[in-house]
Amino acid sequence: MERIIFLLLAFVAMTIAMEPKTYDGDDTYVNCIKENQGPDFCSTYRHGTEGRTMGVYRTIDGTCNNLKKPKYGATNTKLRRIIPAKYDDGVDLPRGHHQASDYEKLPTAHQVSHSVFKAVNSQVKNDKNVSVLFMTFGQFLDHDLSVSPHEECNVTDCSQDNTKKYPCMPIKFDKHKPDCFGFARSKPACKSDEKEHRIQLNELTAFLDLSQVYGSDDATATKVRKNDGSGELKVDHAGLLPIDRVASKKPGCRNPAGCPIVGDKRGDENIALHSMHTLWVRQHNYLARGLKKINSHWDEVKLYEEARKINGALWQHITYNEFLPKLYDVPGFSARFRGRKRFRRTRYNPHVDPSIINGFSTAAFRFGHSLVPNSFSQMGPDFNKYGPSIKLQNAFFNSTVLYKDGIEPTMMGLCANMSDNINNGIAEGLNKKLFVFPGSQLHNDLMSLNIQRGRDHGIPPYMNYRRACGFGRFDRQGFSFDDLLYTPKDIRQSFKNVYKSVEDIDLFVGGLTENHLREKLVGPTFSCIFKEQFEALRFGDRFFYTHRGRFSLSQLREITKITMSRVLCNNLKSMVSMQRDAFRVFNLSNDERVTCGQIRDVDLEPWRERKSRRPRRVRNIRPAHIFQ
C-alpha cells in the first residue's frame, strides 16, 4: 500500500512539473544589475573645486548621506521590504503565473482591472476640493523618489510560445484567449545566494532632493547646468526647458524638434508633469539670481550648490507641510510652522534606512492615478479660458503646446480645476487609451499594469499589509469579503466576482478602494505605508531641512514662509492672483484669491556672506537615537 501511495504521489508531482507555465522564468537574472556599493568610506570625501566638506551639500547620487552606511538611499540600491515578498516559488515566480500553484484561482491583472475599476470620460469632482495641481505635484514627487528599470516586451498575441520567455510577462485579457498586451519584468538586483528572493532596484536617490530636476548621476547633473558662472540651470530664451535635438528620435518623443533636457527621463511624460519640471527649474534660477545679487563674490559652484540646497529645502517644506497632510496625518507637521515664531528642530538618525519601500513605490504611491482628469484645461492669468482643453491621450509625450504658448496656461488650468476622486473610477485616457499614439491599434490599461507590476515585484496581498499595519486584530478565522468594513459595499461585491479568496486581493486594488480616513484622501492601509515611508525619508536623511546644523534659525524662518502658491507667483508670467492654498480649488466659501504681493516669499538676506568673514566650520552633529 505504501509503495502504491508513493507511486501515486510521484506521478502527481511529475504531472504538475510537466504542466505549462503561463510565464517562463528561466534565466531571469541574465540582465541583473549590480547594486551600488558606494565608496568604502566617506570621511575623506570632498565636493567641489574648493574642497568643501561633504557635511554641507548632498552628493548627486545620494552616496555618503549616511557616513557609516554610504549606500543608504543612494542610486541603484535595492528597494526595501517591510514584510516578506510573495512569490509562487518563494523566490522569483510571480503570483498566479504557474498552473501548478494558485494560477487557476488567481485572476489575471486585466480581469481584476475590468471587474473592479471603471473608465469615466467626464470630470467627477472630488469632495475634498483638491486641485489637479495636487495630482501633478504627487507625480512629480513620485519621480523624485523611485524608478525601477525594466526590459522591453511588445507583444499582442499570446498564442506564441516566445511571448512567455523572459523578460516578457504579457497581460492576457482572458486566460483562455490569446489577446494580450506587452509587459516586461523589472530588472532584478544580482543575488549572491540562490535562495535569495528576487528584489528590484531603485535607479534614483531615495531622498527628497529634487533629483528629477538636478539628476541622479554626474553626467545628467552636468548636462542640465549652464556652467557659465551664474549657478543656474539651462532654459531657453522663453524660460522653457531646452530641447535635446540629439535625442529627437527617441521612442515616444512626439515633438519633431526634439525632447527636453531634464533631470529625469520621464519629465516629458505629459504636459502637466513637463510644466512642473519647468517650474522648479525656474525656481532654482530665481534663487541663484537672488544669491548672486547679495553675494557677488560667489563662484559658479557655490551659487549652484546653495541654490540647490535652498530649493531642496523649499521642496521638502511644501511636501510635508502642504501636500502630505491632505493624504494622511503627518506626525509633527500639521501645525508646526503655521504662525509660530519659534521652530522645533529635529535630529538625524543614522540607524534609519531611508530606502524606498517596494510596496510604497509599486502600489501605494500610485494612488494618484485615480486623480488624473480626462483633459487639461488651458487658462489665462485671470483664470479665464485661454484655449481648448488638451485631451489626456493627446497630452502624453507631447509638449508642442508648451513651446507654443508657454507653461502658464497649463499651470493655471491645474490650479483652477478639481482633480477626480480617489476611488475605482479611472480616467478613460488611462483605462483605455494609455500611451496610444496616432494610428496605433494598441492600447494599455494602467490599472492592469499596476497590478501586474505588483505581482512582478512580489508585493504581498492586501490582507498581509492590513495585518502588518496592526489591523489584523479585526481579522478572525473565516474572514470574508463582507468583513472588509473599510471597503464600500459595491467594491466588496466586485472582489467577490473576481477573486476566489479575500487573501488574494492585490495591495494596489485593496488599498486604493478603501473608504478614506476623515478629511484625508486615502484609507488606513495606504496611510500606514505612507507614514512608514515619509518618516524614514525625514529622519533617515542627514540633509533634511529641519535637522540641526542644516540652516540657521533666521534661514529656517525664511524657508518656512514658502508655499506652493508663492512658487507659482515667482515663476509664472503675468500672474494676477492665486488662492493661498494652490492644492485646493478656489471656492468662495473656504478660500480667497489674493494678489501675489499678499503671499509671503523667502527673503535671502540671511544668506548674505561678508567677504572678510571666514567660513564657519560645519561639523557633523551626533544624532539622537529616535528609533530603536
- Are 185 and 456 in contact by the 8 Å Cβ rule? The answer is yes
DSSP label of 378: E
- 8 Å CB contact between 367 and 526: yes
143 tagged catalytic: yes
- CA 112 to centroid of chain Cα atoms: 23
Question: Does residue 167 have a cis peptide bond before it, meaning omega lies within 30 degrees of 0?
Answer: yes
The residue with cell 486566460 is 175
Three-state secondary structure along 546-589? Answer: CECCCCCHHHHHHHCCCCHHHHHHHHCCCCCEEECCCCECCCCC
The letter for the amino acid at 472 is G
Catalytic, out of 114, 143, 277, 516: 143
171 within 8 A of 108, measured Cβ to Cβ = yes
The residue among 381, 314, 350 whose CA lies nearest residue 551 is 314
In Å, how far from its chain's centre is CA 175? 32
Query: Which residues does residue 184 pair with via DSSP β-bridges, in sequence order?
Result: 168
3-state secondary structure of 202: strand
Q: Residue 369 carries which side chain, given as an amino acid letter?
A: H
Cα 453–Cα 456–Cα 457 angle in degrees, nearest 5? 90
CA dist., res. 256 & res. 260, Å (int): 12
| 443 annotated as ligand-binding | no
Q: Residue 85: helix, strand or coil by DSSP? A: coil
CB neighbours of residue 15 within 10 Å: 10
Residue 251 DSSP SS3? coil
The residue type at 43: S
* Contacting residues for 433 by C-beta, under 8 A, at least 6 apart: 392, 393, 443
- What does the angle CA 552 – CA 556 – CA 561 come to, to the nearest 5 degrees? 155
The Cα angle at residue 221 between residues 219 and 225, in degrees rounded to 5: 115
Catalytic machinery residues: 143
Annotated binding site for heme b: 369
Known binding residues: 369
